[in-house]
Chains A and B, each alone.
Chain A
Amino acid sequence: MKKIVWMSTLILSLLLFTLISLLVTSIIVLFSDSDVLSFTQSNGAHLWIGLEVSGSWQGIAQTLGEHGFDSVLWLGLVQLLPFFLINIILIRLFLLYRCGSFFTIENIQCFKWLGGVLLAQFALVVCYPSLLITLLNFATGTDMGRVVTIQDTDIIGLVVGLIIYVIGWIMGQAQQLQEEQELVI
């Protein structure tokens, strides 16, 4: 039990650090002119803080950039949304583990949400760029081509999401069995 509490505390601090970094990066992108803030120290060390569009949205980001749209604002911040949610769900899950709660309804809910967010992330990756381009074409009169790009990492995300959702569902069944077992006298 002590080991679990110690590990959960360690993971919680890492998750909190990641969440704060994500928040700081988003605020920097929202309130500064540049997507990347560069700091150079007198000893020659460089530090960059910023956000860039990654994965299967890079092509769309390039297209948006060519037509004068801020790709980081339109795509980068949206790309961060699932990570925010995943972070918050994991923080909740490890808080429960730290409190010694392992197979409760709250834990099962966390697994189901986690799987759901990963599945929704795949839907977002597939649908959002096309919807955005259609909307921007309609609103500004530009003619950007709609492209749906799926990378292997997106497919892996989908599979992992499905697996986590099924694990959550199985944990729910196990919890029901445990509840019934408690009522066997």
Chain B
Amino acid sequence: MAIIIDLDVVLAKRKMKSTELAEAIGITPQNLSVLRAGRAKAVRFTTLDAICKHLGCQPGDILRFEDD
């Protein structure tokens, strides 16, 4: 897919585990894993808002467009 998820990079920079983030934003670790793996079909604004709030970042830090 042309949209790349850089959540792992941001998590590594913050030294935070994905399970911690999942718990903090109120989604299951499985769903977060789907997002990290780039298998998600869509991301809700509420989820994106919660991720950005907890990681202290911008949506552009997590999502990036790369032409195929």
Chain A residues with CB under 8 Å of chain B are 180, 183-185
Contacts and interface: CB of A to CB of B under 8 A. Distances in A.
Contacts of A183: 34, 39-42
A184 B44 CA distance: 7
B7 to A, nearest CB: 11
Contacts of B31: 185
21 contacts: A180-B41, A183-B34, A183-B39, A183-B40, A183-B41, A183-B42, A184-B40, A184-B41, A184-B42, A184-B43, A184-B44, A185-B27, A185-B31, A185-B32, A185-B34, A185-B35, A185-B40, A185-B42, A185-B43, A185-B44, A185-B47
B46 to A, nearest CB: 10
Residue of A183, A184, A185 contacting most chain B CB atoms (<10 Å): A185
Contacts of B47: 185
A15 to B, nearest CB: 38
Contacts of B41: 180, 183-184
A33 B40 CA distance: 66
A52 to B, nearest CB: 56
